[in-house]
Amino acid sequence: MKAYLGIDVGSVSTNIVIVTEDNEVITSLYLRTRGRPIEALQAGLKEAAAGIPSDLQIAGVGTTGSGRFLAGVMVGADVIKNEITAHAVAASLVQPNVQTVLEIGGQDSKIIILRNGVVTDFAMNTVCAAGTGSFLDQQAARLGIPIQEFGRLALKSTSSVRIAGRCTVFAESDMIHKQQMGHRVEDIINGLCEALVRNYLNNVGKGKEILPPILFQGGVAANEGIKAAFERALGFDVQIPRYYNVMGALGAAQLAKEEMSRGGKTRFKGFDVTSLSYKTRSFECNSCSNLCEIVEVLENEAIIGRWGSRCGKWDIADL
């Protein structure tokens, strides 16, 4: 049986998906990266290998995310694509008529506008934490509430409380002020959800024509309070796909499938990469005034990949 492996390595999570020729997801893993992408990827691949049939053949591999090049050279990827492409492909696979994709992760957020299955516009936020999952994590910790309970409590709100959400510092001080005034915790939590959505729409979604069907992806999509806040703000239903937290990996797997349909043999090194030794190192190129930081990946002390130069001088994969 042929299957395709999709890998999404991000700053917060490392996600792995394996899909069959018929687009059936047989493996879906969401792991914390914890600042150690190599270890997280190896652990994920080891878990994936243990849970698949012995006669399964990986016919193609795709990688995406901020660590896509690192993952690509480690596993021998057939296609390496950015997050916008991967999420758009996955969304179209789940909902062929999708016109808007809202994606909020732990450290960044993005919006993708599609028309007739083609990406026509997009925007990303990788700077302000107030529009990402880390914003909610911080406030949940301050309130002493498990983040898993955040959305459920927000839905119990009976009165609107406006929290300043332009940045995490303002939000935190405003939240404390609202607590001191005696507002209910549920109302404050709902106000935080609305603040995140307001920040997202005013920054990432600014100037975008948001039309249904709308898909909400990324780890924050698990928060019912955020979904409800989006629906109130937009006036449209917001759909959460079944594999909302691994959509990047799902898109990477689909891209690998499309790539391999053109013919050729996969470059996948096999699940044995979990037992190999990997490390990274960097150096500064002084060939010009750009002073690019070049990153090298070593497999058992041999260089297998290098990238980071603006001119492409050092960008080599699979040496």
Domain ranges of the chain: 2-89+248-276, 96-240, 279-317
Q: Taking all residues of the chain, what is their mean pLDDT, rounded to a whole number?
A: 88
pLDDT band at 316 (very low <50, low <70, confident <90, very high): low
- Output the CA–CA distances (angstroms, integers) from residue 32 to 37, 40, 90, 174, 212, in the order listed: 9, 7, 21, 30, 31
**CATH second-level architecture of 2-89+248-276?**
2-Layer Sandwich (3.30)
CB 272 within 8 A of CB 43: no
Tokens of 233: 């703000």
pLDDT at position 319 is: 38
What does CATH list as the number for 96-240? 3.30.420.40
Task: Between 59 and 317, name the one with better pLDDT.
Answer: 59
The β-bridge partners of 63 are: 7, 80
Phi/psi at 249 (5° precision): -65, -40
Look at 151 and 30; give whichever has higher pLDDT.
30
Give the span between the Cα atoms of 104 and 303, in whole angstroms: 34
Residue 85 sits at φ, ψ, to 5 deg, of -60, -45
User: Which letter does DSSP use for residue 243 in this model?
Assistant: T
Give the closest residue to 197 by CA, choosing from 292, 102, 262: 102
* Contact partners, residue 205, CB within 8 Å, separation at least 6: 102, 111, 123
Mean pLDDT of 38-49: 94
What is the distance between the alpha carbons of residues 304 and 319, in angstroms, rounded to a whole number?
5
Q: At what angle do helices 133-143 and 185-203 cross, to 10 degrees?
A: 160
Q: With bands split at pLDDT 50, 70 and 90, how would you rate the model's confidence at 210?
A: very high
Tell me the per-residue pLDDT of 122-154, one tens digit each, with 9 for 90 and over: 998 866 656 677 777 777 887 888 878 888 888
Sheet of strand 302-307: strand arrangement: 278-284, 293-299, 302-307, 316-317
Is the peptide bond preceding residue 213 cis, with omega within 30 degrees of 0?
A: yes
DSSP per-residue string spanning 64-108: ESTTHHHHHHHHT-SEE--HHHHHHHHHHHH-TT--EEEEE-SS-
Return the percentage of the chain with pLDDT > 90, whole number.
Answer: 49
| Rounded Cα distance, 197 and 233, in Å | 8
pLDDT at residue 224 above 70? yes
- pLDDT number for residue 83: 92
Pairing of strands 57-64, 293-299: unpaired
pTM, to two decimals: 0.87
158 pLDDT tier (thresholds 50, 70, 90): confident
The stretch 266-285 carries a mean pLDDT of: 90
Residue that the structure tokens 């297998």 belong to: 304
Indicate whether 72 pLDDT > 80.
yes
Number of residues in the chain: 319
- The neighbour count for residue 299, using CB atoms within 10 Å, is 16
- Per-residue pLDDT reduced to its tens digit, 83-103: 999 999 999 999 999 999 999
Evaluate if residue 196 carries a pLDDT over 60: yes
